[in-house]
Amino acid sequence: QKEVEQNSGPLSVPEGAIASLNCTYSDRGSQSFFWYRQYSGKSPELIMSIYSNGDKEDGRFTAQLNKASQYVSLLIRDSQPSDSATYLCAVNNRGSTLGRLYFGRGTQLTVWP
């Protein structure tokens, strides 16, 4: 049973557009939700975390969480070519060993000039 699923992509948007990345999770008791960005040939890096329902904004990035629907998303406004990367959704499930995250398979985003 898959724990975390993401829209598989690839997703391609023009520069300046809004990129929308989606993620669903299976454990209703999940408490913490994260978005990692991974550039080609590089390691993942944390860009957003969200713990309660609603929106959380950080610059051009907005994370949205809806626990009732078991859904978390990442919006990237005014997308730039430098945003081209694979975005990984990660969830810290209830009952999991402290610090263990479950990752989705990632969505590859390309922003074209």
Partner 1 sequence: DVKVTQSSRYLVKRTGEKVFLECVQDMDHENMFWYRQDPGLGLRLIYFSYDVKMKEKGDIPEGYSVSREKKERFSLILESASTNQTSMYLCASSLIVANTGELFFGEGSRLTVL
Where along the sequence are the contacts to partner 1 (CB under 8 A)? 31-34, 36, 42-46, 49, 51, 88, 90, 92, 97-101, 103-106
Our CB check for partner 1 shows the closer of 79 and 86 to be 86
Our CB check for partner 1 shows the closer of 51 and 112 to be 51
Instruction: Give Cβ neighbours of residue 23 (< 8 Å, ≥ 6 apart).
Output: 4, 5, 6, 7, 33, 71, 72, 73, 74, 89, 104
CB of 32 to partner 1, least distance (A): 4
CB of 69 to partner 1, least distance (A): 21
Q: Where are the alpha helices (DSSP H) in the chain?
A: none
